[in-house]
Structure 1
Amino acid sequence: MSKPYMLTYDLNSPGQNYDEVIKTIENDISTVCCKYWESSYLFRSNLTTKQMIDKLKPYLDKGDRFFITEIVNNKTGWLTPKQWDFINENIYD
């Protein structure tokens, strides 16, 4: 059963391969996601947070930072109506 998560990251070493990190998040970790922020994702996943990090490890080094947390439907912020509709219909189904 998929759950909603928020993931944020900083790849701090020069020459990092952002493409592989993004591809892994979008294709291997999430079942549906939105990326309305520079280095953060809101998504649903069937994986545990440990399983997510294990999939990302090949593309990370000691200088990188990741934070993944399961989230609840208690939110507010400044997004467009279209973005809120997507979140409400796909992340908090």
Structure 2
Amino acid sequence: MRAYILSYDRNPSKYDYKSIHSKITKNPMIKNWSHYLNSSYILISENNVNELSDYIRKVMPKHRFLLLEVDLRKSNGWLPQEAWDWINKNKIL
């Protein structure tokens, strides 16, 4: 399993983010996910960055986005406690 950060430009007047959210979170490639910032997800997947990127490009074809593999064991920031609980539970060893 790998953890990824997906960050993207958000334009609510042009796109249906409920539909995009559903397509991202219900895809079988995504084993777990977190979405505590409006324009970002943390995704847990067995797939590599290229496979996920190809799928995201289909889901959000006109969006700019950045997909990075991350080490959740090396994280810090200011989020609600439930976000940190999720991160701690999903640290990839």
TM-score, with structure 2 as normaliser: 0.78
Q: CA deviation at 1:9?
A: 0.8
Partner of 1:26: 25
Unaligned runs of 5+ in 1: none
Unaligned runs of 5+ in 2: none
Aligned residue pair count: 90
Pick closer, same or farther for the CA change 1:78–1:14 going to 2, 3 Å: closer
Partner of 2:7: 8
- Pairwise CA RMSD: 2.1
Q: CA deviation at 1:18?
A: 2.3
Distance 2:32 2:18 in 1: 18
Partner of 1:77: 77
Distance 1:89 1:13 in 2: 31
Pick closer, same or farther for the CA change 1:80–1:18 going to 2, 3 Å: closer
TM-score, with structure 1 as normaliser: 0.78
Seq. identity, %: 28
